[in-house]
Homo-oligomer: A and B are copies of this chain.
């Protein structure tokens, strides 16, 4: 089945979300509770939790404990106690954590004037974590969220965070995924830390299985979208001001906060792929991780990279400047990067980017690339 993510202008049944070549527009949904007034400083902890719980997605309940062999993972005990209790058939659990920190991963207001919404942060929190579970061939079951909030944050922003988590679960097709616990703190800056627990598929694929002769493959949108978004958001040029944005700019900016990890293809592809990972720090840097973990060289095909660049240019227009550099180095796209045995059809949703050879490092044709040029939070 072709992943639904790549279909243009498709309305998802039962939602108020419109797709347009990967651009998700999220108009107010009629069934949402009214936006609360006031700031975090004016609300009690229990009021803030109430706002969050009203909009967080609910994880699917697990089969009752008395049916020990019933299929299906899910929640046995959710919020309200010291810990949540989840069921995982087979007793194996995948788990990962990621933080979004104000000032580091996003700005409340960007140089171009765009103000990051709670929905933006909630969607991205969720997408980047479920992408990690997907990259191991698993399905996300539940998550815990630790939110740190400055006193001046609007309660409507907090509600937006929870709605963004729900949007992501629905839009990405994370069926049954929900929030099962959390923690709230006052702080000087917004931090959203999400830990996801997932149920592995039959095969768990790591970064260390690539073999010489394999094909390098990628699934999801074209590379470099989030990097184009970042340069628009960080622009101080008058023509990039948020007040002047048209459809194209809104779509490009949204790529920063609406990553679209291809959840529909991860678990199935793991039956075939020899290595797999989430591309979050840029193609070059992440490819070098597979190369190092597998003890091989990853040789990208210049024509395939040019093709990615051309797709980026077509999508982002003048915001895609230096497109091939964005394709190679841009982070935060949350695609899947993997390697596939040399023969047989590619797994659904994947395209080819090059080949694995003996040696080490990442190459663009015959040119050795320096992985240290990739994205590093601490550089």
Question: What residues of chain A have their CB less than 8 Å away from a CB belonging to chain B?
Answer: 40, 43-45, 48, 65, 68, 73, 76-77, 80-99, 101, 103-105, 131-133, 135-136, 138, 142, 144-146, 148, 180-189, 191, 193, 195-198, 200, 204, 206-207, 277-278, 293, 376-379
Contacts and interface: CB of A to CB of B under 8 A. Distances in A.
Contacts of A188: 103, 188-189
Contacts of A89: 91
Contacts of A204: 77, 85
A183 B99 contact: yes
A59 to B, nearest CB: 12
Contacts of A142: 95
Given A88-B93, A187-B191, A379-B44, A83 B133 contact: yes
A189 B200 CA distance: 35
Nearest to A189: B188
Nearest 6 interchain pairs by C-beta: A45-B378, A195-B195, A83-B96, A82-B132, A97-B144, A91-B91
Nearest to A94: B83
Given A90-B91, A93-B86, A195 B144 contact: yes
Contact of A104 (B68, B103, B138, B187): B187
Interface centre among A68, A97, A189 (most CB of B within 10 A): A97
Interface centre among A88, A93, A184, A277 (most CB of B within 10 A): A93
A20 to B, nearest CB: 29
Given A81-B207, A97-B182, 17 more contacts: A40-B378, A73-B91, A80-B206, A80-B293, A81-B206, A83-B95, A83-B198, A84-B96, A85-B200, A88-B92, A90-B91, A104-B148, A105-B185, A146-B146, A191-B191, A193-B193, A197-B197
A183 B142 CA distance: 18
Total copies of the chain: 2
A104 B136 contact: no
Contacts of A293: 80
A193 B200 contact: no
B82 A377 contact: no
A378 B83 contact: no
B376 A146 contact: no
Nearest to A99: B146
A200 B82 CA distance: 12
Contacts of A377: 45, 184-186
Given A92-B87, A195-B144, A48 B378 contact: yes
20 contacts: A45-B379, A48-B378, A65-B92, A73-B91, A76-B92, A80-B206, A83-B94, A83-B95, A83-B136, A83-B198, A84-B95, A88-B91, A88-B93, A95-B142, A97-B144, A97-B183, A97-B195, A99-B183, A184-B378, A186-B377
Contacts of A101: 148, 185-187
Contacts of A104: 148, 185-187
Interface centre among A142, A195, A207 (most CB of B within 10 A): A195
A89 B68 CA distance: 12
A248 to B, nearest CB: 31
Given A83-B138, A188-B189, A377-B185, A97 B132 contact: no
Contact of A144 (B44, B84, B96): B96
A200 B45 CA distance: 28
Contacts of A98: 146, 183
Nearest to A147: B99
A186 B191 CA distance: 11
